[in-house]
Structure 1
Amino acid sequence: IQCSNSRSQHDNRATAMQMLKNQLYEIELQKQMEARNEIEANKLKNEWGSQIRNYVMHPYKLVKDVRTAHETGNVDAVMNGDINGFLKAYLMMMGQKDN
């Protein structure tokens, strides 16, 4: 960045530094907006049919993850928070997708 608004070298340097700070700030804001937009684009909409898991409790017991096809018959454990199998299946699927 170059600035020669005034005859004083100190004033020109201060003005140039301020212009540089403004440009760097704008670049950083643009990066943050791009990152936010990328995250928003990957979100699923809350619509009918966009569920992640199906829970069946009658006539048989089954919990199935729609994304990974991981399923378990131990509904009580899943309802009590034991979702490690689902997390592992999802992480493995995401790891395979990256490769």
Structure 2
Amino acid sequence: MANILRLVVVVCGFCSSDVAFAGFTTRKLGPQPIWNSTVTDKLRQDLLLNYDKFARPAQHYNTTKVVFGLTIRHIELNEFKSTLVVHSWIRLVLY
């Protein structure tokens, strides 16, 4: 759960960050930003420290099967506005 929370914080940091990573320079101690690091920058650096972008995800055999059902109740088509509105029920069943 803590790893998921960290991932959400990192993703939000990527989305809301105005700082480009082109500002990183390579020195003896590794990549150092040319601005004052924030908590989000430090968290991102810690999470991606040993990240291998070529690693494939592991196979998980304890998967959850979900049955998806869609019942369409009403359809509205407005050709003038080029819109299609579908009122429906979604049914999800876990197995």
Structure with higher Rg: it is 1
User: TM-score of the superposition, structure 1-length normalised?
Assistant: 0.21
Higher relative contact order (CA 8 A, sep 6+): 2
User: TM-score of the superposition, structure 2-length normalised?
Assistant: 0.22
**More helix per residue:** 1
